[in-house]
Amino acid sequence: MKQVIVLAFLVVCIGGLYKVNGSGECGRVSPDKEAFKLMPCAMAAQDENAPVSDRCCAVIKQLGQNPSCLCAVMMSNTARSAGAKPQVSITIPKRCNLADRPVGYKCGAYTLP
């Protein structure tokens, strides 16, 4: 019985370590947590005609180096709760005129222009 308890304890510990060092879309940080970095993009993510700030473009450029993370952040519950519209959010990299943006990357039901 002791061996089963020790084995279960080790499995839980190893599983916990794996989650801490996790390899999700954004590495160790959840997309919901990363979404807070998009605060400068709040208006641009709600209205396609709103101007996109330089601060927003800097964050998008950084997140765009990992397209799966950028997508997960733009589609996150945190972004949606803040009023971001996914169909508008995905236009931000193009509106920032980023030459190295992930064009054509599938982001759920959307494709990055």
Domain ranges of the chain: 28-111
User: Could you tell me if 26 and 34 are in contact, meaning their C-beta atoms sit under 8 angstroms apart?
Assistant: yes
> What pLDDT is stored for residue 99 in this prediction?
84
pLDDT per residue as tens, the chain (113 positions): 443 333 333 333 334 333 444 578 999 999 999 999 999 999 999 999 999 999 999 999 999 899 999 999 999 999 999 999 999 999 999 999 988 887 888 888 888 88
pTM of the model: 0.74
Name the class of domain 28-111: mainly alpha
Q: Where are the alpha helices (DSSP H) in 23-76?
A: 31-34, 54-63, 67-74
Residue 84 identity (one-letter amino acid): A
